[in-house]
Structure 1
Amino acid sequence: MDSKKPKALIVGAGIAGLAAAWWLRKAGWDAAVVERSPAVRDGGYMMSLSGPGLETIKRMGLFDKVSEVAHRLRENIMHDQRGHEMLRLQYEDFHGGTEGTAICRGDLARVLREALPDDAVRYGETVTEITADDGEDKVHATLSSGEKLTVDLLIGADGIRSSIRDRFWKGEDCLEQLGYSYAAYDIAFAKKLQADCVSFNCPGYLATVYSLGEDQKAALHIWRNPQAGPQDRENKMEAVHKIGANGPALVTEVVAPFETASSLVIDDLTMVTLKRWSKGRVLLLGDSAHCLTLISGQGACMAVASAEILASELMKTNNDVAKALANHEKRLRPVIQSLQAHTRKIAPVYIPAGALKYHLRNLFLRAMPYSWIVSWYKKSATGEIDLTQALKD
């Protein structure tokens, strides 16, 4: 690390951590990332980059790189539990004429990693000891390699199971279970789809299959799970097989080989709700601070936008860390709270709990004019607020 620059240690080389490293370096900081995994993690679900997240990517000069690995999704055909078509949703209408791009989470992380110097990320490395006493202007950390670092800011960007949050926010009940589990993975699947994206919705269950190319597909399953919480991976795999076996033929075909997918991610839909995202010189960023879940569709956008806001506030305050962290939270918190509140509302609509609610929802979708449905989906994606305007300085 450069002894003349303020220093930050970032734990976690996901989207939030890599974006934070890029923006802090641009702000004149020496930022190093440590990551437990041996490389950028593959897989993850398909997501949309739009609004403030996409604008941040452009200001980083990465839009062309993102476009190279992005997927153009034109249409989503939604089916009921019998495989009958319910709705065709055009993504161009969904975005309302605004710019947006679809990208796999792992691909976005890879683009961000390649935008950093080779020595910016230390893979296969963890933090074993941290000392961050109240009132001190430094954080002392020991890495698993034995190296000791003294930094001006420690950032926990290590996801929803954050070890940094467990250390400094110990005892705070911040994990809000939405009552759903999910599985996302890529598979080699040659069968041609009806459209770029096809969805099958049953009571308590949603399956979506995306086309990533001629013989490559990505799948996402979300199902109601009242026992959501710590469970072993095998139980969730069994649940996906059980639900898939009772679904449409395409879902059964896709589920059959999913256990062999190297990109498999399987977990619960859990939001993180904390009263504060920073304590002294320790800051949580991205999912570790305020996980939105994939229901909101804004997690990655908020992660990269949050990193830019942090760097902006550090520059404006001449690296007054306490003031910058307070300003960062003041600007971002209203947006996050709105998105989380909206997530609680729309999850039961996307995946109705029982047969009655499921059939009423389907009748509603079939009876509504298409323009009303588009308007509802657009509001669902933004939490009924203008995210770009809300995050402006």
Structure 2
Amino acid sequence: MANTANPVGRLFEDICTMAAKEIGIVNLGRGFPDFSPPQHVLDALVQVTQSSNPLLHQYTRSFGHVRLVQALCKLYSPYYNQHLDPYQNILIPVGAYGALVCAIDSTVQEGDEVIIFEPFFDAYKKMINDIGATPVFIPLAPRTTESSPTSHSDDWTFDEQFLLSKIRANTKAILLNSPSNPLGKVFNQRELEIIRDICIEFDLICISDEVYEWMMFNFKKHIKIATMEGMWERTLTIGSAGKTFSATGWKLGWVIGPEPLIKKCQVIFQKCYYRCPTPIQEAVAIAIETEMTRLESEDCYLKSLARDLENKRDYLASLLAEIGLKPILPGGGYFLVADVFDFHKQIKDSELEKHSSKDEADDVRFVKWAIKEKKFGAIPVSVFYSDENKRRQHLIRLCFAKQLSTLEKAGTILKHW
């Protein structure tokens, strides 16, 4: 797997998907919802596709459909405490993945180094390596090692002095992901201040992946590092229509930032993508406009999705704790990470060897065994670690952005584990 061109985490999602079709597993490995977007979002797309306005079915503005960038400006200007310019401060790429490509390729060059917090979304490493740059990994680790049936991603943090020791003359950027994939870590005010101070002192760009920004739990508030003093002019913020509206297949993202950095992103975008589909951009614009009329209402999807996911997070965590798997409660996002060490050591090597080899990481072996023997799909967290830290992992990633019926089926399997 290590030699493939695709990120390893995506390969495990594909393995889970194929196994779901072949042997009918309950698949919590796939990192996207198995439920539909809200009705007003679906209605918006129907409205656009059935429109007789010919312009909605032809090419639109290259760097973002006018109605969409204007809607995003109205939505986000209050959060940035400034008036965003729809044409200078926003770019609409093909999904948040495409937004990351534009942000990284436009700011990082061959020979540069990029700071990444580990565990990390596995695509980051490949995007940086493809340029000829080097990712430098800063581990997130729990503050204590005390045994507990349930812990929290808030307990995981980084060592400030270790981070400082990794800043060199060719360090170009810090890649931040909050809430993070896979851990669900929400960086707090103090942690962001440390990152801000380092970015300013060493003149670094911050690429802030915030695709789960609306999915915050336990009454947490999402802090945009771009809003902190001295950070607007050096930050590119990544957002996602697919994550925001539970429509990941629509593949529409955005980059928000200062004009000089956005112009560089535009150069990469034109070279790679040219422009995004007009009907989807129009539909997302309508959806955002609708949400802005509901921001103070319980009907606002930007709020109700977080409540729904928090309940599902807690439901899954209770199932895991009940059978002895130790969940790490996320502060936001789609994913819950669980420690399977106690379970893994109870499985005989002869059982594991039916589906994997001894030279694979322990969590990889566990997941392969669980798929085949228990019909339960997950992602081994070692795929979100650098090579030197892979084998030490006993964690799996589970996606709880699922229908309750899916989680109940998972519960049936877990209770009979």
Scaled by the length of structure 2, what TM-score is found? Answer: 0.22
Higher share of residues assigned helix? 2
Higher share of residues assigned strand? 1
Indicate the structure whose relative CO is greater, using CA pairs within 8 Å and at least 6 residues apart.
2
Scaled by the length of structure 1, what TM-score is found? Answer: 0.23
